[in-house]
Amino acid sequence: MASITLQRRYEFDWLRVLAILIVFLYHSTRFFNLTDWHIKNANNYVWIEIGNVFVTRWMMPLFFIISGASLYFVIGKQGGWKRFYTDKFLRLMIPVLFASLTHSALQVYLERVSHSRFSGSFFQFIPAYFNGVYSGIGLAGSGNFANVGMHLWYLLFLFGYGLICYPLFVWLKTGGKRLLEQFTGLISTQWVVYLGFTIPLLIMKVLIPHAIIDVGNGGWGFLYYLWFLIAGFIFMSSEQLQHCVERQRWVSLLLGVILSSAYLYMLFGVSHPVFQGECGNWMATLLNFFSAWCWILAILGFSMQHLSFDRPVLHHLNEGVLPFFILHQTVLLVFGYFIMKSEVHDFLKWAAVFIISFVFIIALYLILIQRIDLFRFLFGMKTSHPFFDIFQKKGLLIFLPALWVTVTVFAGFNKTPVARQHQYPMSLSFDPAVDVVLNADFISDLSPTGVQVVNDGEASFGNAIEFSSGGNKRVDPDPDIYVDIHFSAPAGRYFVWIRGKSDVDNELTDSIWLQVDNQIGTQQGTVHLGNWNSFYPVSVYAWASDFHIPIVSVLRHTGEHTIRIQPRQTPHRIDQIWLSNFQRQIPNTTNHIKRHQMP
């Protein structure tokens, strides 16, 4: 392994700036894609969803790779672990702590209002901010306190993973240097480079339980980012490996186009999975992992070829990327909240949000953050005033994380159960032109046991789907008990409401798993629906989604679709399944949608 000259790698500075701009562009389109977000536009577009899925294959992994490459130059500097911890805490965790107690509350408030889970001003919301810990967009069990600063989860995990990897990185630069040289030498060949970086992801997929490895954000499970960070360090350690990646850039780009096209076709181009069950799971996983690494290696290769230069503006851009990243989502949501309500063309909405937010962030940075030491400190920048040196003292370095943990624990114990949360119901708003209502008449297949269609005078059309047994704590790719329902509908995002009931006075009898189209036969895309007994009398048909919280299901193409229902708890009955474009709140009635209302 050739020795690495410790000089500034300008291509990584440019990549960091470009990556931040890509994140800004990505989040500016989240108002218009199919999947749920903090605030949504009335109209949504499949092509934007396809673009977003493509970008998330490599966007956040690239951030961690850039960070891992930067750590190669940091590790081993004078001061050791203590200096490393102090620098990273001030750089990464101070912005997280500050955001979690300030502008992240504004993001949560806007989401709660737009999702009809709160009604009132921001100042009326503040006392409820520490009610539970925020865990995700639109989730029934999510609280309000954004302890990771919403989109700043990246900074939190970068800080934590940096501390975890510090001993490993020190060893790889000293006692383990020969082993690192052997590994990089092994993978620095034309095709092995793709295997060398992808196999660790596959090993993690095999060894770590599904319920753990799939928990994440940014399109990936959080644990996968640990490998991307390590991979960035490994990449920077070897000139031989870097030359290989640079030589392979066109091959990586071609493979990325082919593999990502196949992956996106599996997601958006077919109603049913090309490969069933675990085979389908693994085919999607292989395409996902390999296409991601092909794009990452292509980006690294082209950046080394074309971005290895300095410019006077680069220093200023590199200094401002962190404050820009910290502010961008809050600012987008504030302006988006008002602009999405306007009656103008959707492109003009996007352009207005993008331009106004960008200009506002730059102005705020230049006028306040860059010039005032207090704001520089709070946004993770270097300061000149000696007052801020006190935050390098051991006592404060212990107290501040302890304070963050204490507030998080308090919020966790201060959570209001979902069934006791205010429901903010709205009148049943069925639009026969765009909504879909399904019942037992649409069944295309069902298992021979555990489920049947029964006569029921209280059901909308005299019959209902009854699950009598076979409740499962997780969705099964090849279930023993299921119902498949076939229907036709345009592509789009739909709020899913289930009209059902349980005759047993027990809250552990009334929920299902639901999958759509190519999710069927896999463990992907599952949503949990039901829980009528939590807020309606036993034996009464009523509407629910995830309790009273609306769950969004995405149909990725126009045409024929299939829904598969598996029992999560039993026994219960289902009368109607309603895919709605506009029912953002639980209906204020238990009545069914009548036949004459349907197309």
Per-residue pLDDT band at 323 (split at 50, 70, 90):
very high
Q: How many CB atoms lie within 10 A of CB 467?
A: 28
User: What tokens appear for 532 in the block?
Assistant: 């009528």
Asked if 65 and 229 touch (Cβ cutoff 8 Å), the reply is yes
| Amino acid, res. 588 | N
Examine the domain organization and report whether 227 and 141 are in the same domain.
Answer: yes
- DSSP run (H or E) holding 279: helix 277-306
The reply to whether 547 and 399 lie within a common domain is no
Q: Which two tokens stand for residue 401?
A: 């994380």
Decide if 534 is inside a domain. yes
**Alpha carbon distance 200, 196 (integer Å):** 8
Q: How many domains does the chain have?
A: 2
Provide mean pLDDT across the span 146-154: 95
Q: What is the arithmetic mean of pLDDT over 164-191? A: 93
According to DSSP, residue 478 is labeled: S
Measured CA distances, 458 to 327, 455, 540, 542, 569 (Å)? 53, 9, 9, 11, 21
In a domain, 93, yes or no: yes
Q: Which of 109, 104, 184 is nearest to 152 (CA)?
A: 104
> pLDDT per residue over 231-252, tens digit each?
999 999 999 999 999 999 999 9
Q: Which of 429, 555, 552, 442 is nearest to 490 (CA)?
A: 555
Residue-range definition of the domain harbouring residue 586: 436-597
- The pLDDT, as a whole number, for residue 1 is 43
Is residue 67 within 8 Å of 92, Cβ to Cβ?
no
Judgement on whether residues 393 and 456 belong to the same structural domain of the protein: no
Q: Give 520's pLDDT tier (boundaries 50, 70, 90).
A: confident
**Paired tokens of 582:** 């506009």
- Distance, in Å, from the CA atom of 349 to the CA atom of 586, rounded to the nearest integer, reads 28
CA-closest candidate to residue 495, choices 595, 438, 578: 578
**270 in a domain, yes or no?**
no
Q: In this predicted structure, what is the pLDDT of residue 597?
A: 58
Domain boundary among 398, 413, 428: 413
Q: Does any domain span residue 280?
A: no
- Strand residues in 113-257 grouped as ranges (E): 216-217, 220-221
Q: Is 147 within a domain?
A: yes
Residue pair 264/50 in contact (Cβ under 8 Å)? The answer is yes
Which residue, 32, 12, 26, 34, is CA-closest to 54?
A: 26
221 lies in the same domain as 305 = yes
Contact call for residues 518 and 272 (beta carbons, < 8 A)? yes
Q: And the tokens for 159?
A: 């800080």
Residues 252-303 have pLDDT tens digits of 999 999 999 999 998 888 666 566 666 777 888 899 999 999 999 999 999 9
Helices (H), 91-176: 94-101, 103-114, 122-125, 153-173
pLDDT of residue 204: 95
In a domain, 429, yes or no: no
Confidence check: pLDDT of 523 > 80:
no
Rounded-to-integer distance, Cα 43 and Cα 50, Å: 16
Classify residue 287: in a domain, yes or no: no
pLDDT score, position 236: 95
DSSP letter (8 states) at residue 442: G
Q: Are 589 and 450 in contact (CB under 8 A)?
A: no
- Tokens representing residue 345 in the block: 């063309």
The pLDDT value recorded for residue 594 is 82
What six digits make up the tokens of 225? 């980012």
Residue 4 phi, psi (nearest 5): -95, 120
* Residue 475 and residue 347 share a domain: no
Structure tokens at 453: 């269609």
513 pairs with which residues across the strands?
A: 528, 566
pLDDT in tens, 192-222: 999 999 999 999 999 998 889 988 899 999 9
Judge whether 276 lies within some domain.
no
Please tell me the pTM assigned to this model.
0.92
Q: What is the CATH number of the domain that holds 533?
A: 2.60.120.260
Radius of gyration over every alpha carbon of the chain, rounded to an integer in angstroms: 26
**3-state DSSP percent of the chain in helix, strand and coil, to 5:** 55, 15, 35
Statement to judge: residues 399 and 471 lie in one domain: no
DSSP annotation of 550 reads P
Residue with tokens 């798993």: 513
Q: Which residues contact 127 (CB under 8 A, 6 or more apart)?
A: none
CA separation for the pair 256, 438 (Å, rounded) = 40
pLDDT digits (tens, 9 = 90+) for 400-420: 999 999 999 999 999 877 656
Average pLDDT, the chain: 91
Instruction: Note whether 389 and 318 are same-domain residues.
Output: yes
d(CA 307, CA 12): 8
Asked whether residue 449 falls in the same domain as residue 386, the answer is no
Round to whole Å and give the CA distance between 350 and 335: 11
pLDDT tens, residue by residue, 562-574: 999 999 999 999 9
Nearest partner of 243 among 305, 294, 310, judged by Cα: 305
Q: Are residues 188 and 301 in the same domain?
A: yes
Q: Token match 């949503």: residue? A: 527
- Give 537-550 pLDDT, tens digit per residue: 888 999 999 888 88
| Statement to judge: residues 103 and 205 lie in one domain | yes
Range with lowest mean pLDDT among 16-20, 431-435, 495-499: 431-435
Q: Are 481 and 470 in contact (CB under 8 A)?
A: yes
- Specify whether 132 is located in the same domain as 175: yes
Q: Based on the fold, state whether residues 406 and 467 are members of the same structural domain.
A: no
3 has pLDDT over 60: no
